[in-house]
Amino acid sequence: MRVQLLVTAGAGALLLTVSSVAGGAPTADGEPTPSSSHPATASSAAAGSEPAPGVTVGPAVPVARLTGAGSINETAASYQVHGTDLGIIWDNGAGEVLMAFGDTYGEGWGGNGAGPREADWRCNVLARSSDTDLADGMTFDTMVQDRPGHAKQLLDCKQVNNDEETVIPTAGVTVHGRSYIHYMSVNHWGPPGQWFTNHSGIAYSDDNGETWTKDPDAVWTNTPEWSNKFQLAAFARHGGHVYMFGTPNGRFGDAHLARVPASRVLDKEAYRYWDGSGWSRDEAAAAPVATGPVGELSVQYNGYAGRWLMTYLDESRAAIVLRDAPRPTGPWSEEQVIVSGTEYPALYGGFMHPWSSGPDLYFAMTQWAPYNVTLMRSTIS
């Protein structure tokens, strides 16, 4: 992503998002098996009303750099990925995870942060991994390429400021062999932690991420006030539905929730929005399930903890935080800091790996400098 940052303890670059649901190991068709059902019940996200956490999380430590020169995947030499960010991870249901990245640069990259524009800029790229031993990092099997040794751009983008500056993945999920990416079309960048989107949408792939099609109907158009509630997203698959957690553009909004039958992800008319007490057809009725400021989201069910977990950058705290809940609708707990910008300046991301197991919670984190992605590990109890 390409956003101006405060180079202090915690401004970041941008993004979404979220990964798909986890249970602790690769699962058939990428769907986790929660230990109990979670019926939709009323919940409150009013500021100050959050319950105490249901899990305890320890401070995160770095495991391995995943991208860039000198990383365990040597993406600069192997794929012309010198600098990139985000790393949204989901299970493809076929013994692999897919990992989507944001604005990516090759030869001529400036060395810290995004840019310059002429440095082989691609708005988004994708890696695949079948690595199940995350204790020493996450090795890529390959990246999707347009020619040998060059990671290709997945989703078209104009690269025109105040029109469509970039197109960034914010979430991913696979259902019955078809993969879906939720993306946002960025009109322009604003002050640190703020950006403004034209719309968000869903693209799909039937060849394990090699080619993607933006569905013309699965689109959430932003409002003239830049306030649509589902411009960034996190996908989580559970109980026959795909849940979509959403936030407005930028990092300062609340999180909202929608769901859709897993067989109808591209049918916008099939989405229902949580209004605080039930599921409504009215998108405008969507009520907060987690109060902001909520940055790019990742949400998954954790079988070890028996809880739903949510991670994101809290821009006001300059920290990646974790919240937990008994069900997707909440109530979501108070925040717990898992990584602080005082230790890792200009951090962002926090996209959980769906194959985290036992007490270990693995996630992808970016720092604006050096503008690359690191696998981190925390512990939960």
Dump strand ranges (E) for 133-280.
Answer: 142-143, 145-147, 150-151, 166-175, 178-189, 195-205, 213-221, 232-238, 241-247, 253-261, 272-274, 279-280
**Does residue 12 have a pLDDT over 60?**
no
What are the tens digits of pLDDT across the range 144-179? 999 999 999 999 999 999 999 999 999 999 999 999
- Check residue 93 and give left, alpha or beta (phi > 0: left; psi -120 to 50: alpha): left
| Residues contacting residue 112 through CB under 8 Å, at least 6 positions apart | 368, 369, 370, 371
pLDDT at 8 over 50: no
The residue assigned the tokens 């090759």 is: 106
Per-residue pLDDT, 39: 35
pLDDT at 272 over 90: yes
Task: Report the alpha-carbon distance of residue 356 to residue 363 in Å, rounded.
Answer: 9
Q: Which residue has the higher pLDDT, 54 or 22?
A: 54
Query: In which band, very low, low, confident or very high, does the pLDDT at 35 lie, cut at 50, 70 and 90?
Result: very low
End-to-end CA distance of the chain: 33
Distance CA 316, CA 377 (A): 23
* C-alpha distances in Å from residue 46, one per residue of 93, 139, 289: 37, 41, 8
CA distance 1 to 15: 7
Write out pLDDT tens, residues 188-211.
Answer: 999 999 999 999 999 999 999 999
For residue 23, name the pLDDT band (cuts at 50, 70, 90). very low
Distance CA 81, CA 226 (A): 32
- Look at residue 16 and tell me whether its pLDDT is greater than 50: no
- Who's near 320: CB < 8 A, 6+ residues apart? 60, 311, 312, 313, 314, 337, 338, 339, 347, 348, 349, 350, 363, 365
Sign of the torsion angle spanned by Cα atoms 100, 106, 112, 113 = negative
Mean pLDDT of the chain: 91
> Rounded to whole angstroms, how far apart are CA atoms 278 and 162?
38
Q: Which residues contact 227 (CB under 8 A, 6 or more apart)?
A: 248
Which CATH number is 28-379 given? 2.115.10.20
| Contact indicator for 42, 195 with CB cutoff of 8 Å | no
* pLDDT above 80 (res 143): yes
pTM for the complete prediction? Answer: 0.89
pLDDT band at 348 (very low <50, low <70, confident <90, very high): very high
In our burial notation (b when 16+ CB lie closer than 10 A, e otherwise), range 58-67 reads eebeebbbbb
Percent of the chain, pLDDT > 90? 87
For residue 18, what pLDDT is reported? Answer: 35
% of residues, the chain, pLDDT over 70: 87
Residue whose pair of structure tokens reads 């990992």 in the numeric block: 99
For residue 15, is pLDDT > 60?
A: no
pLDDT band (50, 70, 90) for residue 49 = confident
Q: In what order do the strands lie in the sheet with 319-325?
A: 298-302, 307-314, 319-325, 336-340
Q: What is the chain's length?
A: 381
pLDDT at 48: 60
User: Does 31 have pLDDT greater than 50?
Assistant: no
**Residues 304 and 358 sit within 8 Å (Cβ to Cβ):** yes
pLDDT value, residue 1: 59
Q: What is the pLDDT of residue 36?
A: 31
* Tens of pLDDT, residues 210-230: 999 999 999 999 999 999 999
